[in-house]
Amino acid sequence: MDLSRRRLFGYSGATLAAGAAAGAGLLSVAQAHEGQAKDDGAVPFFGAHQAGISTPVQDRLHFAAFDVVSGDRDRLIGMLREWTAAAAAMTRGRPYGSAAGGLPESPPDDTGEAFGLPPARLTLTVGFGPAFFEKDGKDRFGLRAKRPAALIDLPHFPGDNLDPDRSGGDICVQACADDPQVAVHAIRNLSRIGFGVVAMRWSQLGFGKTSSTTPGRQTPRNMFGFKDGTRNIAGDDDRALDQHVWAAGKDGTAWMAGGSYAVARRIRMHIETWDRTSLKEQQDTFGRTKGEGNAYGAKREHDPVPLDRLPADSHVRLAHPDGNAGVRILRRGYSFADGSDGLGRLDAGLFFIAYQRDPRAQFVPLQNKLAASDHMNEYVQHVGSGIWACPPGVRGGGYWGETLFA
């Protein structure tokens, strides 16, 4: 039975085995190209770590959170296998199955809007949230004992005004690319493949990357017009990545070795208030100049930061690693602008994404400190939140989450 006919009849007990076999078959085809010269603009999908974490940050984002709506463990694994096969194809700029062929009576295997477009450095990164392991006291998939201690339920931070419809999710998928249509196409196709097993809970489009993992590149600016994240971890700094980003077996969760923990926060910026604030107030809020981006007391952006020269409640002083016992996170944030809120104000801000080895020792203490004292809180509010355990990369004939389900 080909993919088109299988989708015509849907996921059923009779077709589950065929679905897993088809996914494995496509994965084998994709892996046959592993080691060959990369397609133009293609980021390798297979490897020890998932792409999209330390990868040089692309220009566009489509981030989606899904809830698992099926209690069938085998169907879930079958979907993850097929997702992996589709991701391996799409990140090389290829359609998943046939975009225009197949049986006329069934939907095409691929939605087709990226047909003919280059890969645009597409990366797809998957993570599993706390409710994936236990929800409402139920161990839905026999994974309760495998929940990492580091995958905590994030605490309520001062000033949080979280929308439950924009928070949480059993599975997250981060699609980053240099072409927004390529990123949206990827999420759209994974959502179609997962129909009946998962349902999209919420999603967020992002543009204008606000951080960089590439040394020497100019630090991007956020919607306030400031450079932020100057001390971000570089994607080729293996020592820093091992120390601050990649989970290790000795951390206590063997299946997460080579993975990382993602925290996402939708941060609404009060754009109109900020735009009417004096330049001095804006610069004092960050602790750096708006033009060059140098910290107070420094001449250039990347000069050492003299923390004692910065206002005590400035963002840079409170967040800088030198003021937090060397604690660092890898940032991959994006700006967003989702129209207006009906009151003439832009619904815009920062979709903050951070990867780390242990949120208990990294994001949580940093955010507690910022939430308590950061002058920036006058101009922003956190309205969405989530945390996920992102497993290691895919190797051999594997699939996303194989180390967890093994």
pLDDT of residue 100: 67
pLDDT of residue 13: 37
pLDDT of residue 36: 34
As given in the structure block, the two tokens for residue 165 are: 């419809």
**29 half-sphere exposure, CB direction, 13 A CA radius:** 16
Q: 231 with 327: CB under 8 angstroms?
A: no
Neighbours of 159 (CB within 10 A): 13
Q: 317 with 310: CB under 8 angstroms?
A: yes
Gap between the Cα atoms of 104 and 403, Å rounded: 38
Q: Which DSSP string do the residues of 62-88 spell out, in sequence order?
A: EEEEEEE----HHHHHHHHHHHHHHHH
Query: What contacts 347, CB < 8 A, 6 or more positions away?
Result: 268, 337, 338, 339, 340, 341
Name the stretches of the chain with pLDDT < 70: 1-39, 99-101, 216
Gap between the Cα atoms of 25 and 403, Å rounded: 20
**Spans of all domains in the chain:** 1-126+171-207, 130-167+210-390
The SS3 call for residue 176 is strand
pLDDT of residue 99: 64
pLDDT, one tens digit per residue, over 50-93 is 999 999 999 999 999 999 999 999 999 999 999 999 999 999 99
As given in the structure block, the two tokens for residue 108 are: 């095409």
Gap between the Cα atoms of 276 and 396, Å rounded: 56
Alpha carbon 208 to chain centroid distance? 15
